[in-house]
Copies of this chain bind each other. A is one copy, B any other.
Amino acid sequence: MAATPTGDVDVDSEAVSASIVGASGFAGGELLRLLAGHPEFELSQATSREYAGKSVGSVHPPLRGTDLRFSQPGDLESVDVLFTATPHGVTMEHIDEYQDAAELVVDLSADFRLDTEAQYDEWYDGHSCPGKLDVAQYALPEVNRENLAGADVIASGGCNATATILGLYPLAEAGILDGADVVVDVKVGSSEGGAGGGAASSHAERSGVVRPYAPTGHRHEAEIEQWLGTSVSFTCHAVDMVRGASATCHVFPDGPVSNGDLWGAYRGEYDDEPFVRMQAGGSGTYRYPEPKAVAGTNHAEVGFELDASNERIVVFSAIDNVVKGSAGQAVHAANVALGFEETAGLEFAGLHPVGSP
Instruction: Mark interface residues in A52-73 (1 if CB within 8 Å of B CB, else 0).
Output: 0010001111111110000000
Q: Which of B36, B199, B203, B290 contacts A3 (CB 8 A)?
A: B36
A135 contacts B by Cβ under 8 Å? no
Query: Which of A136-144, A149-157, A208-216, A257-265 is near enough to bind chain B?
Result: A208-216
Query: Which of A94-102, A124-132, A171-179, A184-192 is near enough to bind chain B?
Result: A184-192
Q: Is the CB of A210 within 8 A of B354?
A: no
How many copies the complex holds: the figure is 4
Instruction: Mark interface residues in A186-224 (1 if CB within 8 Å of B CB, else 0).
Output: 010111010111111111111111111001110000000
Please name all residues of chain B whose beta carbon is closer than 8 Å to the beta carbon of A201 when the two chains form the complex.
197, 202-204
Q: Which of B198, B211, B248, B291 contacts A197 (CB 8 A)?
A: B198
Residues of chain A in range 26-51 having any CB-CB distance to chain B below 8 Å: 26, 29, 33, 36-39
Distance between A4 CB and nearest chain B CB, rounded to angstroms? 4
Distance between A308 CB and nearest chain B CB, rounded to angstroms? 8
**Chain A interface mostly helix, strand, loop or mixed?**
loop
Given A4-B37, A183-B183, A216-B310: A285 and B200 within 8 A (CB)?
yes
Q: Is the CB of B355 within 8 A of A207?
A: yes
Q: Is the CB of A195 within 8 A of B191?
A: no
Q: Is the CB of A3 within 8 A of B37?
A: yes
Q: Is the CB of B285 within 8 A of A205?
A: yes
| 10 A-B interface contacts by CB (under 8 A) | A8-B8, A29-B353, A64-B277, A64-B279, A195-B353, A205-B285, A205-B353, A212-B289, A216-B307, A296-B296
Query: What would 20 more interface pairs be, CB under 8 Å, given A242-B356, A295-B351?
Result: A1-B274, A5-B6, A33-B352, A37-B347, A62-B293, A63-B349, A64-B279, A183-B250, A190-B355, A195-B202, A196-B202, A197-B199, A208-B241, A210-B292, A211-B290, A212-B314, A217-B309, A240-B240, A250-B250, A296-B351
